[in-house]
Amino acid sequence: MSENAKSVTIIMIEDDEGHARLIEKNIRRAGVNNEIVPFASGTEALTFLFGPDGSGDISAGRSLLILLDLNLPDMTGIEILEKVKANPHTRRTPVVVLTTTDDTREIQRCYDLGANVYITKPVNYEGFANAIRQLGLFFSVMQVPETA
Amino acid sequence: MSLSRSSFLLRTLILLLLGLVALASVVVTNVWLVQRTQDYVTEVTQLRRLRAAGVDLRSRLQDAETGQRGFLITDDPAYLQPYDDALANLGSYMDRLRKAAEVRPDLRPQVDQLALTIDARLGELRQTVDLARQGQRQAAIDIVREDRGKELMDQARTILQNIVSEAEDDLGRLGVAQGESANALWWVSVLGGLFVVFITLIGLLTILSYLRQLAATRQEVDALNVNLEERVRERTAELGRANEEIQRFAYIVTHDLRAPLVNIMGFTAELEQGVATLQSFVSYAGERVAGPDYEAAKLAAQEDLPEALGFIRSSTRKMDGLINAILKLSREGRRALKPERIELPGLIENAVAAIAHQVSEAEGEVALNVKVPALVGDRLSLEQIIGNLLDNAVKYRRRDIPLRIRVQAVARPGGLVNISIEDNGRGIDVRDHERVFELFRRSGQQDQPGEGIGLAHVRAMARNLGGDITLNSTFGEGSIFTLTVPAQLRATTRSMAA
């Protein structure tokens, strides 16, 4: 694992605690040891990403990777995606959409908004675990730019 | 005025009958009156004849008397000419009177009396004339002076006068009766005619009002029709929205159900790993810590926990299957249909080719009778429906007899096409005919793998195409599934569900 990858913080926005836990476990099993910061609601995640003033200055200089679920209790993941890709400090941050929705239009919309990867959570657990582990392997070779 | 159809019919019928009866009675009365007039005419003719006969007879008598008197006075035979003529003709005149008098039988005694009187009078005349011819003029005049001849003549005159006046009276009476009869004819004709005209007018009014009512009703129906079409459109749109909502609901529900299921399955897998660790620890630790607590822990780790986990796993797998089935159905409902021209024989042959291997294994055969060359429909849906039904025919065949499948396609009135797939398989109990089309429901012996979604899916697709599927089956003898689809798939069918 490169130096760069080591310093990357994984922001996991996922309201289902079980899913969050399983995702974390499987990423760890893939040998990824980066810090994972979980958020169970969109509001908390936005505060972390853009600060209390919403400017995004707080994220300047961070190396982030966002794991995003689309079905959140207080807002849709699409909104978060829009904000992340619209803010000059976070727009280069890779966003992995990880959700149960496999609607074609939804997937297209996410890519149109700048999502880097779109993964449908497989229903069977083996598939799910496998997908997450592969995602972890992908993380370990991925270069994440430092935010401006 | 409001007339129902039956009361209108009754009314016109009654009016018609009334008019008919009136007309018939007028005709009958007229015929009767005319007949009576004719009778009068005959009677009048007879009476005239009687009167004429009476008058003529009187003249002839007078002629005879005149001739006798002239001869007696002048002694010139030339004056006898009227006498001779009268004498020669009197007989026939008398016969005429007698005949004419038959019209009044009551006059007969008078006629007989008259005949006798005339005979006597003629006898007297003949006697005097004969005497005068023999030169005994004085003797003849003496006889005349006896006045017997005059008396007889007066008698005859009186009788004749009586007969003539009787005839004249009758004629007068008949004239009055004839006038009355003509009057009656006039009244009957006029009144009857007026009545018929009246009835006809009422009938016309009834028909007119009924026609007006019909026209009004028709207008109303037209208005209602327009309204109805509007309402059908509204309802269709509502149905479309409701359908859309259901599809969305199914889609969302399945996705939301998936999330907790992933957790259950995920942590079950984690648990299994934990149990595996425990098991290896228990078997490894057994040598050092023996005792009842250890036995209980060993039992839990080696039997109870794996069993519980096994049940959780099989249940979640099943639930996963069900959710996937619902998802598949909801996806099918959301899929946009693509109407295209489909060569039906080719499509069916392809579907049959797909099961050819299994059919030959079952020593069976498939008969095709496709009388519909082509239709416009959604290829994928049709392929899936027919394929599914053929699969079922093979899957639920009877093992003891060779498999026979018959696929037929016929055009039906109303722009529909019937595609029926008939097999000689195990059949479906009649109480399950509706149930087999329901989601997750199966029928009969459960010896084949499946989740009970095939026919539910088939029906959903058939209805999506604007058609339907029906089942006709006898348990133990075979089934006929009949798919009915429009020959021209319309875009509107789709807009409802999309």
Separation in Å, CA of A56 to nearest CA in chain B: 31
Domain-located, residue A49: yes
B271 part of contact set with chain A, CB < 8 Å:
no
Joined together, the tokens standing for residue A24 give: 């974390």
Q: CA distances (Å), B315 to each of A20, B261, B412, B427, in order?
A: 23, 10, 46, 30
Q: Do A121 and B258 touch (CB under 8 A)?
A: yes
Domain interval for residue A124: 3-141
CA B70/CA B62 separation, integer angstroms: 12
Q: Is residue A146 part of a domain?
A: no
Per-residue pLDDT of chain B (498 residues; tens, 9 = 90+): 466 778 888 888 898 898 899 889 889 988 998 898 889 889 889 889 999 999 999 998 898 888 888 888 888 888 888 888 888 888 898 898 888 888 888 888 988 999 999 889 888 888 888 888 888 888 888 888 888 888 888 999 999 999 899 889 989 998 898 888 889 889 988 998 899 899 899 989 989 998 999 999 999 999 999 999 899 999 989 988 888 888 778 877 877 787 888 888 888 888 998 999 988 888 887 667 777 888 888 888 888 899 999 999 888 888 888 888 887 777 777 777 888 899 999 999 999 998 888 888 888 889 999 888 889 999 988 999 999 999 999 988 888 888 999 999 999 888 899 999 999 998 888 888 888 888 778 877 778 877 778 888 899 888 888 889 999 998 888 999 999 999 888 754 444 333
Chain A residues with CB under 8 Å of B255 CB are 71, 100-101
Candidates A16, A100, A125; nearest CB to B265: A125
Instruction: Provide the domain count of chain A.
Output: 1
Count the helix, strand and coil residues of chain A and give each as a percent rounded to the nearest 5: 45, 15, 40
The answer to the question of residue A29 being in a domain is yes
Quick one: closest CA in A to B316, which residue?
A: A124
| Interstrand relation of B416-423 and B478-486 (parallel, antiparallel or unpaired) | antiparallel
The complex scores an ipTM of 0.72
> Do residues B412 and B489 touch, judged by C-beta distance below 8 A?
no
Please answer whether residues B11 and B206 qualify as being in contact, where contact means their C-beta atoms are separated by less than 8 angstroms: yes
Which one of B256, B269, B324 has the shortest CB-CB distance to A125? B269
Distance (Å, whole) CA A129 – CA A19:
11
Q: Say if A90 falls within a structural domain.
A: yes
CATH of the domain at A78: 3.40.50.2300
* Min Cα separation A49/chain B (Å): 26
Q: What three-state secondary structure class fits B342?
A: strand
Q: CA-CA distance, B362 to B270, in Å (whole number)?
A: 46
C-alpha B421 chain-centroid distance: 40
Question: Strand B374-378 vs strand B339-343: parallel, antiparallel, or unpaired?
Answer: antiparallel
**Which of B253, B254, B262 to probe the A interface (max A CBs under 10 A)?**
B262
Phi, psi (rounded to 5 degrees) for A103 = -65, 130
A100–B263: do the CB atoms touch at under 8 Å? Answer: no
* β-pairing verdict for A36-39 and A9-13: parallel
Q: What are the tokens at B202?
A: 């009422």
Q: Count CB atoms within 10 A of the CB of residue B428.
A: 23
